[in-house]
Amino acid sequence: MRLLVTGGCGFIFSHFIRHILQKYPDYKIINLDKLTYCGNIENTKDFRNNRNYKFIKGDICDKKLVERTVKEVDVIINGAAETHVDRSIIDAGSFVKTDIFGTYVLLEAARKNDVEKYIQISTDEAYGSVERGSFKEGDPLNPNSPYSASKAGADLLVGAYRRTHGTPAVITRSSNNYGSYQFPEKLIPLFITNLLRGKKVPLYGDGSNVRDWLFVTDNCAAVDTVLHKGKIGETYNIASSDERTNLEITKMLLKLLGKPDGMIQHVQDRKGHDFRYSMDCSKMRAIGWKPRVKLEEGLEMTIEWYKNNEWWWRPIVKKLGN
């Protein structure tokens, strides 16, 4: 199988490429990545010389490049996206361009070249917030941030191409991922790198917002399952079903790092901050996937990685001015 993976120098999909190359030694992967501020070529250093791997620096909004590249593959997995909610609140333009227009460019290339499968990587945030119960795949989308709106827009476009052109598309929506190589602007890597440097952690509001936390390798295994077993036209929710408040996560990190509660600095809440994300993942379980890494174990492994890889994150936090 020949795969085009977009955004493969980012956090999740550098892990996914590693997963595929190790599990399927006869598969070939092209990684198309623009190398924006959170795309890091160092994330691929352990597999960049693999004979079945090829890196192309480029933008998914570049029609000519995308069409030329798609001619070489059987499957497209679109993991390229602008993803940070806070940045989308400040300036939504790049989110609309990459997440929606970039998806359109990929879908057009998929249509013209008759790819076998197109997998759109989305987010639980597209459903919006829910106080009780869990969203199922057929529930209406109700995004509340410019980021989640751009992802929901892309999902709707994928669905339209499926119905209009017969594009063999599948959508995955995952909960909050965490693990090694995650850019230190997201909660867990930001808090870990702050605490390792003796700095306080900025917790929004009272920390009562609820999230489901999924270890990145579990998400990679889920996308792998959808690649091989997912039914065309379906959407699949991917989550650990282990929900915690942001305050609970913060206190777990403090405990694992031997830091006092006094290291928490409560800051003004994010605009339009969704209270709770929750998804029903029974459809994924029905095709043979389930999460394997427990939250406590995953946090321990993540902390250990950041402790042992300061070379990776210290230049980043310095550039961010944190």
DSSP 70-109: HTT-SEEEE------HHHHHH--HHHIIIIIIHHHHHHHH
What single DSSP character describes residue 178? E
74 is catalytic: no
Residue 154 near residue 120 (C-beta atoms within 8 A) = yes
> Side chain identity at 17, as an amino acid letter?
I
Beta carbons within 8 Å of 134's beta carbon, 6+ residues apart:
278, 279, 280
Catalytic one of 33, 82, 99, 125: 125
Catalytic one of 118, 147, 277, 306: 147
Structure tokens at 221: 């295994």
Residue 270 near residue 85 (C-beta atoms within 8 A) = yes
124 is catalytic: yes
Residue 139 near residue 127 (C-beta atoms within 8 A) = yes
Structure tokens at 227: 């690649």
H/E stretch holding 303? helix 295-308
Catalytic one of 33, 99, 124, 218: 124
Q: What is the rounded distance in angstroms from the CA atom of residue 44 to the CA atom of residue 54? A: 11
Residue 121 near residue 79 (C-beta atoms within 8 A) = yes
Residue 98 near residue 82 (C-beta atoms within 8 A) = yes
Q: What is the rounded distance in angstroms from the CA atom of residue 291 to the CA atom of residue 194? A: 28
Position of tokens 């867990």? 188
3-state secondary structure at position 309: coil
DSSP 114-132: T-SEEEEEEEGGGG---SS
Catalytically active residues, by annotation = 124-125, 147
